[in-house]
């Protein structure tokens, strides 16, 4: 399938993020994750984070597939989060519901960062995306990852970058770059360049997260927006609290 030239997508994405960052009025808060990519931040010890991801995508046969991906994450230690994903296809509609096996997530917050050095996180994410065939997702899991994040270029503009590796049979290494900025205390625009090194499979995602309260947020995302035959549409609800 044809895709828009990557340099053009990169330029447009950077311009959009730059314009949004101009209007930022406070530094970014504790953003634990973005659309698909992680940040170094974690849920505090004794806290939990639950989110529901309603998605719609097109499979190889041209049919539309909808589903619900639920994630539950706990701050089990001061510098460690442990979580689980549960993906359910055809949750809405009249087709048979397909329940996937649970997937594991773990992340360690290694370094909180300084004025000159980025914060650092490492972890493992077993959840993939896209069409599911023969026990594997079309867009493979992130696997092992390391991510660094720091305010760069403009005030309140956070830039995260990292590498990840997956597939124990044939280990593959990919990269990702993410940008986000907190606006007006409760709005976070997000831009991601994911699966870097994957050739034509590089994905560009864009989204907007709105915090209704400090604990409750809603989000709309577009995944793989360079796809000329349409992109995946996502709506997310997230809730954070503590025991």
CATH number of the domain to which 161 belongs:
2.40.160.40
Q: How far is CA 109 from CA 7, 178, 223, 228, in A?
A: 33, 18, 27, 38
Average pLDDT for residues 4-11, to the nearest whole number?
48
Look at residue 169 and give its three-state secondary structure: coil
Give the pLDDT band (50/70/90) at residue 182.
Answer: confident
Q: Map tokens 């590796």 to a residue.
A: 165
Give the pLDDT band (50/70/90) at residue 6.
Answer: very low
What's residue 243's pLDDT? Answer: 82
On whether residue 190 sits in a domain, the answer given is yes
DSSP category for residue 102: P
Tell me: pLDDT of 184 over 90.
Answer: no
Q: How far is CA 217 from CA 63, 83, 175, 206, 236, in A?
A: 30, 19, 28, 17, 8
On whether residue 34 sits in a domain, the answer given is yes
On whether residue 87 sits in a domain, the answer given is yes
For residue 63, give its domain range. Answer: 6-242
What's residue 59's pLDDT? Answer: 66
Provide the Cα torsion 93, 239, 193, 169; round to 10°: -70
On whether residue 124 sits in a domain, the answer given is yes
In the chain, where does DSSP find H-type helix? 6-22
**What's the total number of domains in the chain?**
1
Average pLDDT for residues 202-227, to the nearest whole number?
91
What's residue 30's pLDDT? Answer: 72
Question: Which of 119, 170, 116, 111 has its CA nearest to residue 143?
Answer: 170
Please tell me the number of Cα atoms within 13 Å of 186 on its side-chain side: 9
What's residue 151's pLDDT? Answer: 86
Tell me the percentage of the chain whose pLDDT exceeds 90: 53
pLDDT tens-digit profile of 144-171?
999 999 988 777 789 999 999 998 778 8
On whether residue 1 sits in a domain, the answer given is no
Query: What phi-psi label fits residue 228: left (phi over 0), alpha (psi between -120 and 50 degrees) or beta?
Result: alpha
Give the pLDDT band (50/70/90) at residue 62.
Answer: low
């Amino acid at each position: 399938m044809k895709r828009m030239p990557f340099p053009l997508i990169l330029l447009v994405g950077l311009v959009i993020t730059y314009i949004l960052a101009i209007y930022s009025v406070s530094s970014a808060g504790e953003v634990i994750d973005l659309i698909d990519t992680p940040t170094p931040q974690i849920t505090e010890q004794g806290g939990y984070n639950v989110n529901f991801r309603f998605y719609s995508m097109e499979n190889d046969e041209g049919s539309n597939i909808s589903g619900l991906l639920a994630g539950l994450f706990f701050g089990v230690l001061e510098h460690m989060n442990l979580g689980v994903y549960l993906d359910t296809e055809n949750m809405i509609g009249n087709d048979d519901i397909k329940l996937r096996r649970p997937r594991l997530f773990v992340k360690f917050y290694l370094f909180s960062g300084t004025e000159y050095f980025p914060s650092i996180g490492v972890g493992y994410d077993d959840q993939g995306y896209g069409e599911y065939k023969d026990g594997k997702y079309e867009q493979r899991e992130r696997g092992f990852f390391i991510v660094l994040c720091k305010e760069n270029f403009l005030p309140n503009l956070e830039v995260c970058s990292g590498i990840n590796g997956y597939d124990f049979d044939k280990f593959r290494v990919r990269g990702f770059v993410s940008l986000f900025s907190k606006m007006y205390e409760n709005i976070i625009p997000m831009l991601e360049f994911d699966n870097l090194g994957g050739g034509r499979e590089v994905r560009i995602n864009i989204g907007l997260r709105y915090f209704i309260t400090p604990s409750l947020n809603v989000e709309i995302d577009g995944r793989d927006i360079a796809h000329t035959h349409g992109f995946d549409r996502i709506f997310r609800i997230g809730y954070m609290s503590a025991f």
